[in-house]
């Protein structure tokens, strides 16, 4: 009597392919010269040193993904930028509290291991870690046949940072009459893509044939780590906010004390062509503000006397500019005027 032989590979999981991918990750993970490193990739856990120069160090941790921007990458068969997005979405959150990103881990779940696709994603993650001056120390790749449709996958990122106790950016540092500065975004970043895809579907727009959208929709999220950490080190900012899901109002509200209000002048905001395109193609002003960054990728809250000094740390493309101020009041955020879609 012949017995049927069941194997993991026949079920759709290829252990050898996964092992080869882990070896690739280890080969592309950057190593800083002159610093002792532990061998993390491929082990059960990751070991990292806590910087010795920090006074009363605190650990800050966060996690995020890139949402349905993945579906744009699938449509265009282009995966070399969403890894940058993945890192950006976590490390840009870490610096809001003054933390320097120390290490990063990724999680990739996919229906079937595709080494070409996965290698492209990992190269983007390594790029993002280099921009953030943090280490890719490990992660997980899960091959899950039957859970995802053919070619489908999801990614998540996990970042850990450290900050000296006296450098933590708490709400108490924000004062009446502080200026609110906008640092330009690089585009949509990684929020609002379900609405973007809904619009494209309803208007029957083929992004493969649209040169403008092909470029704009996969622009990687700007990583603000190096500039903002320099400002924190020089005691030049009182607070900051990463403008992600929920737009300008919801994110600034999270860092404003109860007895103060962030007054934002919307007519001061400098947008870019992709936001004008979305607005022109049927997304209302109210929905734009609620869903997208609308050109403001990150906000700084500073003493007015430090404005000129703060600007010196940025290139012209991402030079911060004034969009409002902090005043006494309730509700934490007040939006004045309306955005001029350039």
Q: Where are the domains of the chain?
A: 15-28+54-166, 171-187+222-336
What's the CATH class of domain 15-28+54-166? alpha beta
Question: Exposed/middle/buried for 177, CB within 10 Å: 0-12, 13-18, 19+?
Answer: exposed
d(CA 245, CA 14): 36
For 34-60, what is each residue's pLDDT tens digit?
Answer: 444 545 666 677 777 788 888 889 999
Note the pLDDT of residue 7.
Answer: 61
For 233-271, what is each residue's pLDDT tens digit?
Answer: 999 999 999 999 889 999 999 999 999 999 999 999 999
Note the pLDDT of residue 34.
Answer: 46
- Structure-token pair, residue 16: 């050898």
- Cα–Cα–Cα angle for 15, 156, 288, nearest 5°? 145
Nearest to 105, CA basis, from 167, 195, 150, 44: 44
Residue 38 near residue 47 (C-beta atoms within 8 A): yes
Note the pLDDT of residue 17.
Answer: 60
Note the pLDDT of residue 118.
Answer: 92
Note the pLDDT of residue 129.
Answer: 95
SS3 90: helix
d(CA 131, CA 88): 9
Return the CATH fold of 171-187+222-336: Phosphoribosyl-aminoimidazole Synthetase; Chain A, domain 2 (3.90.650)
Question: Exposed/middle/buried for 258, CB within 10 Å: 0-12, 13-18, 19+?
Answer: exposed
- The string of DSSP codes covering 224-279 is -HHHHHHHHHTT--SEEEE--TTHHHHHHHTTS-TTEEEEEEGGG----HHHHHHH
């Amino acid at each position: 009597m012949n017995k049927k032989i069941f194997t993991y590979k026949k079920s759709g999981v290829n252990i050898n392919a996964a092992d080869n991918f882990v070896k690739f990750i280890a080969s592309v993970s950057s190593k800083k010269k002159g610093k002792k490193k532990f061998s993390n990739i491929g082990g059960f856990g990751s070991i990292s040193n806590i910087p010795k120069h920090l006074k009363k160090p605190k650990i800050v941790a966060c996690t995020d993904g890139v949402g349905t921007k993945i579906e744009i990458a699938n449509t265009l068969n282009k995966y070399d930028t969403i890894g940058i997005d993945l890192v950006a979405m976590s490390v840009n959150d870490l610096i809001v509290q003054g933390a320097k990103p120390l290490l990063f881990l990724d999680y990739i779940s996919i229906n079937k291991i595709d080494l070409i696709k996965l290698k492209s994603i990992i190269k983007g993650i390594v790029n993002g870690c280099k921009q953030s001056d943090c280490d890719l120390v490990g992660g997980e790749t899960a091959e899950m046949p039957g859970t995802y449709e053919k070619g489908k996958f999801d990614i998540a990122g996990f970042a850990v940072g450290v900050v000296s106790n006296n450098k933590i950016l708490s709400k108490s540092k924000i004062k009446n009459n502080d200026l609110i500065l906008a640092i330009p975004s690089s585009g949509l970043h990684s929020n609002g893509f379900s609405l973007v895809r809904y619009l494209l579907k309803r208007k029957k727009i083929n992004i493969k044939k649209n040169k403008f959208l092909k470029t704009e929709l996969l622009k990687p999220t700007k990583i603000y780590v190096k500039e903002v950490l320099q400002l924190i080190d020089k005691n030049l900012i009182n607070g900051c906010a990463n403008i992600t899901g929920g737009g300008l109002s919801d994110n600034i509200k999270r860092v404003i004390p109860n007895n103060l209000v962030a007054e934002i002048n919307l007519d001061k905001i400098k947008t870019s062509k992709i936001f004008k395109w979305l607005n022109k193609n049927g997304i209302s002003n109210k929905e734009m503000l609620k869903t997208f960054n609308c050109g403001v990728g990150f906000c700084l809250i500073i003493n007015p006397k430090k404005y000129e000094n703060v600007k010196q740390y940025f290139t012209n493309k991402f030079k911060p500019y004034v969009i409002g101020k902090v005043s006494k009041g309730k509700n934490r955020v007040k939006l004045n005027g309306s955005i001029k879609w350039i």
